[in-house]
Amino acid sequence: MTSQKSSDKVRLVLRTGSAVFGVSAVLLVAAPAVFDALLGLTSTADLEWSMRMIGITLVALAGNMFSVASRGSEASVLFSARVMQISAFGLGVLTLMIPTTLKWFTIAYAIVGFGFSAAYTWALAGKNK
């Protein structure tokens, strides 16, 4: 496998993650109560405000992930992928620790986090060959 092809895999995972975070960000900013309900949380004004703050932060993260994937140096792409590998795993763990009964969406969201962590691991493993 050439270095270019393995770098392309890492960039693809970053771009895909950017799109997924972007969709989550839009939902969190536009309709936090819907997200709360999907997670099985009781929506309050305080929680909705917090969800919107998370959504705005995800807008920034999604944009930065896309920028690094599109324009970043090899070193910055690899660094970002390693950060996201750990963060995506943490997202999966924290999602399963939600202080409410697990629902289908919560489990699916955790699987997405673990899936992205695995995808980063797979893409980064290609860099070592």
pLDDT tens digits, 19-65: 999 999 999 999 999 999 999 999 999 999 999 999 999 999 999 99
Give the position of tokens 């895999």. Answer: 9
Res 1: pLDDT: 42
φ, ψ of residue 63 in degrees (nearest 5): -65, -45
Instruction: Convert the pLDDT of each residue in 55-110 to its tens digit.
Output: 999 999 999 999 999 999 999 999 999 999 999 999 999 999 999 999 999 999 99
pLDDT at 105: 96
CA distance linking residue 22 with residue 58, whole number of Å:
7
Asked if 32 contacts 55 with a C-beta cutoff of 8 angstroms, the reply is yes
Residues 6+ apart with CB under 8 A from 37: 43
Q: How far is it between the farthest Cα atoms of the chain?
A: 52
Q: What is the pLDDT of residue 56?
A: 97
Residue 126 is predicted with a pLDDT of 74
CA 33 vs. chain centroid, Å, equals: 20
**Sorting pLDDT into bands at 50, 70 and 90, what band is 4?**
low
What local confidence, expressed as pLDDT, does residue 83 receive? Answer: 97
Burial 15-48 (b: 16+ CB within 10 A, else e): eebbebbbebbebbbebbeebbebbebeeeeebb
pTM metric for this prediction: 0.88
pLDDT of residue 127: 61
Backbone dihedral region of 105: left (phi > 0), alpha (psi from -120 to 50 degrees) or beta? alpha
